[in-house]
């Protein structure tokens, strides 16, 4: 029996299970760097269910658990697709042969931009960071934002300063968009942050970002 036949039987079984215990879910495939879950990017409606990574449906995910196991027919989906069900959003991080489909719950919406350097040598107009000089990289992308233990302090180091939080941000890779340290991030809560470290993994982007303070 070939691997392809075994994988097809596994997906068929997951489809049967999803129809029994899952709900209608919309699948989106990003086509550009803006708004990946826009109506134009919806390509499939399927039944799906999501559980903790152990796949046993025995406990809910706890604080800081971004990983979920997806139960659905993955014959037509691929890594980087978004799944939206009852107002909740996941992206597919991995769907390897003979293994469960790994999904990440995306609880926030983020945008990334990069500041542009002065284009001419010599005297230029104001060259600080402003919205007019930023180049958008990704706009309105659902992502997972998790708190991490480490924190720093503002550069001014005033007695009244509080520690600056660092977050881990997970989101899919897209096309030839490369995120770099010092890129700027803004989320749907109006928070601003700067990318401190950017790691492109087999599961997508794993970023460490530092909240921007004034």
CATH number at 25 reads: 2.40.10
* 68 & 81 share domain: yes
Domain co-membership, 96 together with 119: no
Look at the chain and report how many structural domains it folds into. Answer: 2
pLDDT of residue 131: 55
Domain coverage including residue 65: 3-105
Among 179, 181, 193, 190, which Cα is nearest to 147's?
193
- How far apart CA 204 and CA 92 sit, in angstroms, is 9
Rounded percentage of the chain residues whose pLDDT exceeds 90:
67
Strand segments (E) across 67-202: 67-71, 82-85, 88-94, 101-105, 108-115, 134-152, 164-171, 184-187, 192-201
User: 84 and 166: one domain?
Assistant: no
CA distances from 72 to 5, 13, 162 (A): 17, 9, 45
Give yes or no: residues 88 and 133 share one domain. Answer: no
Q: Tokens for 21, please give them.
A: 């215990």
Are 137 and 72 within one domain?
Answer: no
Q: Measured between alpha carbons, how far is residue 142 from residues 30, 33, 92 in Å?
A: 11, 12, 12
Asked whether residue 100 falls in the same domain as residue 112, the answer is: no
Same domain, 148 and 198: yes
pLDDT tens string 64-91: 889 999 999 999 999 999 999 999 999 9
Give the mean pLDDT of 24-30. 98
User: Whole-model pTM?
Assistant: 0.86
Is residue 156 scored above 70 in pLDDT? no
Query: Does 95 share its domain with 185?
Result: no
Q: Which of 105, 136, 158 is the last residue of a domain?
A: 105
């Amino acid at each position: 029996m070939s691997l392809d036949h075994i994988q097809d039987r596994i997906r068929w079984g997951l489809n049967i299970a999803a129809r029994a215990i899952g709900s209608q879910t919309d699948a989106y495939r990003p086509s550009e760097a803006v708004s990946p879950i826009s109506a134009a990017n919806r390509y499939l409606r399927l039944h799906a269910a999501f559980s903790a990574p152990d796949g046993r449906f025995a406990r809910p995910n706890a604080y800081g658990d971004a990983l979920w196991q997806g139960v659905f027919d993955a014959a037509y989906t691929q890594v980087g697709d978004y799944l939206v069900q009852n107002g909740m959003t996941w992206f597919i991080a991995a769907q390897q042969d003979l293994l469960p489909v790994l999904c990440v719950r995306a609880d926030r919406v983020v945008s990334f931009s990069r500041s542009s350097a002065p284009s001419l040598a010599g005297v230029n107009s104001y060259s600080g960071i402003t919205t007019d000089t930023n180049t958008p990289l990704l706009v309105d992308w659902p992502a997972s934002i998790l708190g991490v233990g480490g924190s720093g302090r503002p550069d001014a180091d005033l007695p009244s300063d509080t520690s600056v939080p660092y977050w881990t941000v997970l989101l899919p890779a897209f096309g030839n968009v490369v995120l770099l340290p010092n890129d700027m991030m803004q989320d749907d809560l109006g928070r601003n942050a700067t990318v401190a470290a950017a790691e492109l993994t087999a599961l997508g982007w794993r970023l460490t970002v530092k909240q921007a303070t004034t």
